Amino acid sequence: GAGVSQSPSNKVTEKGKDVELRCDPISGHTALYWYRQSLGQGLEFLIYFQGNSAPDKSGLPSDRFSAERTGGSVSTLTIQRTQQEDSAVYLCASSFTSGTGELFFGEGSRLTVL
Amino acid sequence: QQQVKQSPQSLIVQKGGISIINCAYENTAFDYFPWYQQFPGKGPALLIAIRPDVSEKKEGRFTISFNKSAKQFSLHIMDSQPGDSATYFCAARRFTGNQFYFGTGTSLTVIP
């Protein structure tokens, strides 16, 4: 079975441009998370989707960041008017919500804003 | 506000030695404490996890020690190997909302 798939794996953009990052979770996983990992930093929570419930957006750093999850599966993280401080690896994870809820991570999308 | 505090930031250990990474938390609503291992260019992967009703869990060379009263837990890697060189993250899950909070990570280097 496939793991969590993220695309693109690398994205270089110019300051001020919009970018979209995609996450395809493991089939059947009802929970989906986005985290940001900056160089030498830990995992910064961005947003969490659980089934059909309203997402927990409490980690989004600014209104330039948004995310959606269509049909309870694929998710897209959008960053508008990118800034250099947005440069980071964006990690997506999915899980079942029952049991331990182990997170399965994708390999991330590395974003570089010039 | 860092919900889970992790130390040290980096660690260098000789092959065969013991690697110890420590984490502390404040929120008593956490009910699950996993450790994740991350190799360069890869996403983190679950290494070992513990629930707060257990004081120790061992899987092979990896052991979690958990002190509920002190709100601390640690990862011990026995007989450390160069292949263990990676970044390690501790985490805690808040059951309500199924939200995970991660430490800032420890970069482990095991010298042959």
Statement: residue A63 has pLDDT above 70: yes
User: What pLDDT does A98 receive?
Assistant: 64
Residue B51, classed as helix, strand or coil, is coil
Put simply, the answer to whether A102 touches B43 (Cβ < 8 Å) is no
Which residues in chain A have their CB less than 8 angstroms from residue B64's CB? none
For residue B51, what is the nearest residue in chain A, using CA coordinates? A100
In chain A, % of residues over pLDDT 90: 76
Q: Closest CB to A100: pick one of B41, B49, B104.
A: B49
User: What pLDDT does A14 receive?
Assistant: 97
Query: How distant is the Cα of A65 from the closest Cα of chain B, in angstroms?
Result: 19
Confidence of residue A2 (pLDDT cuts 50, 70, 90): confident
Mean pLDDT over the full length of chain A: 92
Put simply, the answer to whether A105 touches B99 (Cβ < 8 Å) is no
State residue A113 phi and psi, 5-degree precision: -105, 115
Q: What is the mean pLDDT of each run of 10 residues along chain B (112 residues)?
A: 90 98 92 94 94 94 96 97 97 84 95 95
C-alpha distance from residue B63 to each of B67, B74, B76, B79 (Å): 13, 8, 5, 12
Q: Which two tokens stand for residue A18?
A: 């919009």
**Residue scoring higher pLDDT (A82 or A72):** A82
User: What pLDDT does B107 receive?
Assistant: 96
Residue B26, classed as helix, strand or coil, is coil
Q: Closest CB to A105: pick one of B45, B101, B103.
A: B45
Task: Report yes or no: B74 and B45 within 8 Å, Cβ to Cβ.
Answer: no
Confidence of residue A94 (pLDDT cuts 50, 70, 90): very high
